[in-house]
């Protein structure tokens, strides 16, 4: 039932709820606290939208609907159709039709306006949900939502598939274990960096001199493709070295 009412509310917001149902829902809004709360959530979403899109339209819509609800509440005292909250909204109750044309139009006008941003509103719900956590600092693993001053809500396209191979050794302890000792720079006999890795070094060095777009592209190339380039024997030897060096904590190379 709640779900149904939510979808009615959302349809009303979209301007797609049939007139009579809209009328009923408006009355119910005046009575039903939970529903009002839901409505104000929609309004908040409107506020989020407004902040995002720089248009005050939505809030005005919300206010007008609120006004309509207030008036509706006044009317509602006498002319309740008797539909209790547990009952599904009946299809076009005849009694509503004649008396409520003006009210219905009054109510519907702003709602139609609201529909302008409705597509985005649905998305904003997603935004609201992700933002509920508040300004919790992002933990390194999953949540990317910091205290967002502004959020670009995007409709999810195709879910990204994850093709990259699962490589071992990626322990996720949150620590930057930068040692005091560097390999500066490794001598030519160093077994660590072989030609494919050297190419990676070049790309990294090069990326520092690219524009913002191409720089990112260059680094992205490293994220994915370099693992293909690394030959198995190289990976193997690096692994072996690491195991040997792990005890000393710092890096290596004679």
Partner 1 sequence: MLPDLGRSLELRGTRLRRHKASRVAVFTLLMSAGVAFGAEPKEWLARMNHALTSQNYVGVFTHVQGGRVETLRIIHRVRGRDVSERLVSLDGSGREFIREGNELICYFPDRREVLVERRAPDGLLLGALPAIDEDNSSVYEIKGGERQRLLGRDTRLVALQPRDQYRYGYRLWIDEKTAMPLKTQLCNQSGDVIEQIVFSNIDLPERISDSQFKPQVDASTYRWFRADRQVADNSAQSDWGATRLPPGFRMAQRSAQAMPGSSEPVAHLVFTDGVASVSVFVEPRKADLKPTEGPSRVGSSSAFSTVVDGHQVTAVGEVPPTTVEFFAKQVKASKTQQPAPAMGLAPQRK
Choice between 31 and 60, CB closer to partner 1: 60
Beta carbon of residue 22, minimum distance to partner 1 (angstroms, whole number): 10
Shortest distance in whole angstroms from residue 254 CB to partner 1: 13
CA pair distance 123, 120, nearest whole angstrom: 5
**Residue 211: which region, alpha, beta or left (left: phi > 0; alpha: psi -120 to 50)?**
beta
User: Taking the complex as a whole, how short is the minimal distance between the CB of residue 108 and partner 1, in angstroms?
Assistant: 7
The smaller minimum CB distance to partner 1, of residues 10 and 210, is found at: 210
Closest to partner 1 by CB, 47 vs 230, is: 230
Residue with tokens 């949900």: 129
Shortest spacing between CB 52 and partner 1, in angstroms? 7
Name the residue nearer to partner 1 (CB basis): 37 or 44: 44
- Work out the angle at residue 240's Cα, subtended by the Cα atoms of residues 174 and 191, and round it to the nearest 5 degrees: 100
Q: Minimum distance between the CB of residue 239 and partner 1, rounded to whole angstroms?
A: 7
Give every CB contact of residue 130 below 8 A, 6+ residues apart in sequence: 143, 145, 151
C-alpha 115/C-alpha 14 separation (Å) is 4
Nearer to partner 1 by C-beta: 1 or 223? 223
Residues 235 and 150: their CA atoms lie apart, in Å, by 43
């Amino acid at each position: 039932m709640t779900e149904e009412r939510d979808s009615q509310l959302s349809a009303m917001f979209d301007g797609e709820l049939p007139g009579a149902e809209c009328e009923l829902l408006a009355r119910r809004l005046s009575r039903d606290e939970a529903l009002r709360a839901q409505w104000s959530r929609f309004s908040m979403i409107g506020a989020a939208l407004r902040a995002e899109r720089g248009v005050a339209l939505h809030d005005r819509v919300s206010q007008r609907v609120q006004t309509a609800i207030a008036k509706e509440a006044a009317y509602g005292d006498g002319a309740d159709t008797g539909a209790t909250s547990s009952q599904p909204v009946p299809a076009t109750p005849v009694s509503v039709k004649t008396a409520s044309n003006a009210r219905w139009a009054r109510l519907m006008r702003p709602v139609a306006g609201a529909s302008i941003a409705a597509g985005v509103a649905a998305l904003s719900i997603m935004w609201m949900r992700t933002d509920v956590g508040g300004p919790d600092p992002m933990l390194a693993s999953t949540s990317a939502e910091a205290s967002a001053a502004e959020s670009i809500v995007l409709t999810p396209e195709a879910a990204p598939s994850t093709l990259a191979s699962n490589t071992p050794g990626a322990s996720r302890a949150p620590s930057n274990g930068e040692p005091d000792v560097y390999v500066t720079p490794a001598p030519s006999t160093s077994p660590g960096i072989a030609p494919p890795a050297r190419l990676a070094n070049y790309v990294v060095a090069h990326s520092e001199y690219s524009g913002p777009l191409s720089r990112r592209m260059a680094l992205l190339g490293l994220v994915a493709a370099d693992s293909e380039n690394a030959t198995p024997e190289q990976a193997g030897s690096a692994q072996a070295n690491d195991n040997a060096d792990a005890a000393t904590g710092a890096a290596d190379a004679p």
